[in-house]
Amino acid sequence: MSQQVKAELAPTGVLRAGINLSNFLLVTGKTDAGDPVGVAPDMASEIARRLGVPVRFVTYKTPGELADMADTGAWDIGLIGAEPQRAEKISFTPAYVEIEATYLVPAGSTLKSIADVDRILSNSLRTTAVPARSS
């Protein structure tokens, strides 16, 4: 890895990786020392290894909290989903993982596909609820 890339990604000599703890698919637990474990911490650790620097995890309860710290210098890389609003102040790489999601409906529901849900939502005032800034 070039010195220029190393200086950009780890200007302090340590790769400070912002980690969103709310996605159980990307952070699956903690080590005995309290460091996060999972795909996102593994990705950050590998980037640090390739840079030849140590990694330090900077954890956040939600991706929104991580994104809020983008311009504070609290972290060097952040592992969160790209959103247009976040892209106003964060430069995103192509996705390192894509997570398929779907709807959970009660047994016996007439909803059998995502298209069924989309049709109902587009024809009514119903909304789908998710926690604010949670992707």
- pTM equals 0.76
Write phi, then psi, for 22 (nearest 5 degrees). -80, -15
Per-position DSSP letters for 72-97, written without gaps between them: TTS-SEEE----TTGGGT---PSPS-
Q: Looking at residue 98, what is its pLDDT?
A: 83
Structural domains of the chain in order of their starting residue, each with its CATH number: 3-88 (3.40.190.10)
Would you state the structure tokens that stand for residue 21, as one six-digit string? 């703890």
The DSSP letter of residue 61 is S
Sign for the CA dihedral angle at 30, 44, 76, 132 comes to negative
pLDDT tens, the chain, 135 aa long? 789 999 999 999 999 999 999 999 999 999 999 999 999 999 999 999 999 999 999 999 999 999 999 999 999 999 988 888 888 889 888 888 888 878 888 999 998 888 888 888 776 655 556 666 665
Give 3-state DSSP helix, strand, coil % of the chain, rounded to 5: 30, 15, 60
